[in-house]
Chain A
Amino acid sequence: MAELTWPRHALSIGVFEFRRSVRALWQDKARLTLMAFGMVIPSLLTLAVTIVFADAIRNIEEFAVPDMVRGMVALFWLFGVYLIAQRVVSARPRINAESLMLTTVSARTVAFGLLVAEMLRILAYAGFPILVLTGVSVFLLGSPVSLILLPVAAVLFAATVVVAGSAVGYAVALLVATSPFVARHKTILGTAATLLAMGGYFLFLYPQISGLSQAALAWVPIGWLADLAVVGTPFVGSSLRAVGVIAGSAALLIVGGLLVERETAVFWFIEPVSPDTEGSVSEQTAEKENLRPATRDSLAAAVTPLVVPRFVSTPVQRVAEWALMRTRRDPNRLMFLLIPVFAIGSPLVSTAVQSGSIGALGAPLTAVALPWLVGSLFAMNPLGDEGAVLPVTLTAVSGDHYVRGLIVPGLVFGLPIILLVTGLAGLVSPYTIGEQLGLVILSGYLTVVAVTISPAIGMAFPRFSAISVGQSRDVLPPRMTAVAVHAVLVLLPGALLAALLVAPRVARTVLAGVFGFVPTIVLELLNSSPDGIGILSTAAGAFRAVGENILAIGLDQLQIIGGGATLIGGILCSYILYQNAVHRFNRYVPL
């Protein structure tokens, strides 16, 4: 039985964990900026729209909340549950300072404390948008009751998402901890689950793809939060549903809370099975060195079924196997890749779907984005990934071998997959055979460039300490700067090459805009001289001329000269950065 004061202690843990999160975030300015943008910009946009259309909003006439809105709420809720579950499984299944906490308070107190902390994080993130919406509802729609009900709906949404997501997450974590099969294949199973969840999400988000509308999810009771949120406004919901969702949420919180308590009480006190030995025990708790099978090539066995080809030298093979094993055993480090995928990929796909050009976009997107992804997998933080072993590695292997070892996994395992996928994407695209073949070759070229340049970038911007609280201390993702530099070096030239191949006219227009007309417009706006004379005006004229000259270039010429220069630039860049990585490794002095 938990101590009598457990709710107070759980709240205390939640607040303390939340404060730690804030402090950790404050120290990581890149993440802070990213999160601030993600939070402030949508709110400001909403605010701007409401100000512009204030009169129209005031005069909205009553109409019933459509099923589409309820379905949308349910869809976001389900996606939120997936995100929280994924977070619990991959990053934070255990509390920090576990031995302290579990000998100080009950498991129930810790579990509820973690739930409170997670809820506070969500509310902190969503606080500003909720405030804006509440303001709009109260002042423009004339609904004073929204002052209470809209935040209540938001809190219920956050609380139920956290509790349901945690219940699912701990169930999965428990499965990983008890089933050797699941533990061994958690990366592949996790990837499959992610693809399934994301696929389901996009099917409903973009009805154009599947014909499934969000309205199809209106039956999910959590979507009735929409009915609660609009009480008092001109949007008319169902009172019965509004009351029902409060009762339903309460029931979900109680049942989910109990489930989380049960799961954590088991999960935190069992010894997780080892992913390496069927039915064996974890490395930390077994304390028996002789538990591990002393096979001579245990490193190769650890990455099976993948096999690093034997034609590379042994040091290169070992570094490659190590990079593969690290990626496989610690996929949490790669969560950072989801940020650009969502930030750039989501609007791109959304636009393509809505304009009906998904087929035309799919193949070039695959040819450019997949090489970047594979290039980021193995070597975006090689020195930091070595951790305490770095001095040993530096003295054990040459820079040449080390860098080649980091490149091998991407080339051996990434390249064939990318060629195949791009080829398949080309088959369902509207492009000619020649263009399809060109895209396949481009994807191969970009893969070689992406994996070759990543070690140098990763070494130039290493990260040696784990980020952020609430995540496992072992999670050591690369620096955002390294990710950004790598993305810019691969995605921009890659996009240009793909555009030159399948849409040269678009490429020419974009180039003229970027290098000519956009600077012209900016300079002309900055020019305060009324008669249009001055340095800025002269510069604007020069840029306009550049833009016009680019537009005047023939498409064939642009493809051959522009494409050729970019291709050669990529090869040169790869060579220079490869040499730079070798040099950096050979000269690196650990602090």
Chain B
Amino acid sequence: MPRIETSELTKRYGETLAVDRLDLSISEGSVYGFLGPNGAGKTTTMRLLTGLTRPTSGTGSIAGVPITDRDGLRPHLGYLPEEPPLYEQATAYEQLEYVAGLRDLPERATQERINTLLDELDLTADATTRIADYSKGMRQKTAYIQAVLHEPDVVFLDEPTSGLDPRAARTIREMILDLADSGTTVFLSTHILPVVEEVADTVGILSDGQLVAEGDPETLTQRAETGDTQTLEDVFLELTSTDPAADVEATDG
């Protein structure tokens, strides 16, 4: 059974369609790269899939739980929004223990997991420093740990490598792959296309609320009729261009 599944999922704000009849089927242990220009509807899609907003029509489920069942969803998902949801007055340790407590995670095992994750992300030395004094990268890492702490079935990551130095970004990429290897489905939204090319099994491109392309990165970058290889960036630019000439070119291609 797919871990993330949507059918005709639609979100309308007044007269405007933010998400237009989205059909997704994402399997267990895969990394789904979710691309789209600014304002394409990516964040709305993530908010729909995490139960933070209700669809106008259509259905969706996470690990078999309907996305309208917020209480049922919570144990199955982890969410790292673009703006890390952290408390400035807490230390990383306090923040992580607090969230673990709210999720009723077993204390001893959680302590070990927190320590391991802090260690892997090179945060141990700063774990007792207030988050107000953290750099953007340190906040991002803390929020990442928070999102995966309870080993959810599905993790939604919105620009997880944003603001990270190359070493930390690589660590996150490796951890995403490890997550997928352990069976977690990763829904990854980012503008950093090389990250998607490196870690995603499947890529979906959203434009004006519609899924305009979907497939594995290799297929997407392969020009069908000529056999030429494009970069994912070329494909992205063609498919999401608002220039009619480019649209024609993309369709022809």
Interface residue? A103 (CB, 8 A): yes
Interface residue? B136 (CB, 8 A): no
Interface residue? A550 (CB, 8 A): no
Task: Assess the B102–A285 pair: CB atoms within 8 A.
Answer: no
Q: Residues 44-65 of chain A: 1 if any B CB is under 8 Å from the residue's CB, otherwise 0? A: 0000000000000000000000
Interface residue? B18 (CB, 8 A): yes
Task: Assess the A9–B102 pair: CB atoms within 8 A.
Answer: yes
Q: B13 contacts which chain A residues (CB < 8 A)?
A: 271, 280-281, 285-286, 288, 291
- Report how many residues on chain A are interfacial, defined by Cβ distance under 8 Å: 38
Q: A3 contacts which chain B residues (CB < 8 A)?
A: 71, 74, 104
Interface-facing stretch out of B1-9, B51-59, B108-116, B196-204: B51-59
B55 CB to nearest A CB, Å: 11
Q: Residues 33-54 of chain B: 1 if any A CB is under 8 Å from the residue's CB, otherwise 0? A: 0000011111110010011111
Interface residue? B65 (CB, 8 A): no
Nearest opposing residue in chain A for B79, CB measure: A103
A381 CB to nearest B CB, Å: 20
On whether A105 and B14 interact (CB within 8 A), knowing A20-B87, A287-B43, A289-B39, the answer reads no
- Report how many residues on chain B are interfacial, defined by Cβ distance under 8 Å: 38
- CB proximity to B under 8 Å, residues A80-113: 96-107, 109
Task: Assess the B86–A2 pair: CB atoms within 8 A.
Answer: no
Task: Assess the A288–B90 pair: CB atoms within 8 A.
Answer: no
C-alpha gap A97/B142 in the complex (Å) = 13
On whether A16 and B44 interact (CB within 8 A), knowing A103-B74, A269-B53, the answer reads no
Nearest opposing residue in chain B for A27, CB measure: B89
On whether A291 and B71 interact (CB within 8 A), knowing A12-B102, A97-B86, A100-B146, the answer reads no
C-alpha gap A416/B104 in the complex (Å) = 61
C-alpha gap A285/B47 in the complex (Å) = 9
Residue from A106, A286, A291 within 8 A of B70 (CB atoms): A106
Nearest opposing residue in chain A for B43, CB measure: A287
Residue from A19, A97, A281 within 8 A of B85 (CB atoms): A97
Nearest opposing residue in chain B for A104, CB measure: B102
Task: Assess the B98–A281 pair: CB atoms within 8 A.
Answer: no
Q: A288 contacts which chain B residues (CB < 8 A)?
A: 13, 16, 18, 39
A590 CB to nearest B CB, Å: 18
A270 CB to nearest B CB, Å: 8
On whether A103 and B89 interact (CB within 8 A), knowing A16-B98, A288-B39, the answer reads no
Q: A279 contacts which chain B residues (CB < 8 A)?
A: 14
B52 CB to nearest A CB, Å: 6
Q: B74 contacts which chain A residues (CB < 8 A)?
A: 3, 103-106
C-alpha gap A109/B99 in the complex (Å) = 13
Q: A289 contacts which chain B residues (CB < 8 A)?
A: 38-39
Interface residue? A460 (CB, 8 A): no
Interface residue? B103 (CB, 8 A): yes
On whether A24 and B89 interact (CB within 8 A), knowing A1-B71, A287-B39, the answer reads yes
Nearest opposing residue in chain A for B78, CB measure: A103
C-alpha gap A101/B43 in the complex (Å) = 17
Q: A104 contacts which chain B residues (CB < 8 A)?
A: 74, 99, 102-103
Task: Assess the B16–A20 pair: CB atoms within 8 A.
Answer: no
Q: A107 contacts which chain B residues (CB < 8 A)?
A: 70
C-alpha gap A523/B44 in the complex (Å) = 70
Q: B98 contacts which chain A residues (CB < 8 A)?
A: 12, 16
Interface residue? B148 (CB, 8 A): no
C-alpha gap A18/B126 in the complex (Å) = 24
Task: Assess the A287–B40 pair: CB atoms within 8 A.
Answer: yes
C-alpha gap A286/B39 in the complex (Å) = 8
Nearest opposing residue in chain B for A289, CB measure: B39
With contacts A106-B71, A269-B53 known, what are 16 further pairs, Cβ within 8 A?
Answer: A2-B71, A20-B87, A96-B85, A97-B87, A100-B99, A103-B50, A103-B78, A103-B79, A109-B102, A279-B14, A281-B13, A288-B13, A288-B18, A289-B38, A291-B13, A291-B16
Query: What are 9 of the A-B contact pairs (CB < 8 Å)?
Result: A20-B90, A96-B87, A98-B85, A104-B102, A271-B53, A286-B16, A287-B18, A288-B18, A291-B16
Q: Tell me the A residues contacting B by CB distance below 8 Å.
A: 1-3, 5, 9, 12-13, 16, 19-20, 23-24, 96-107, 109, 269-271, 279-281, 285-289, 291, 469
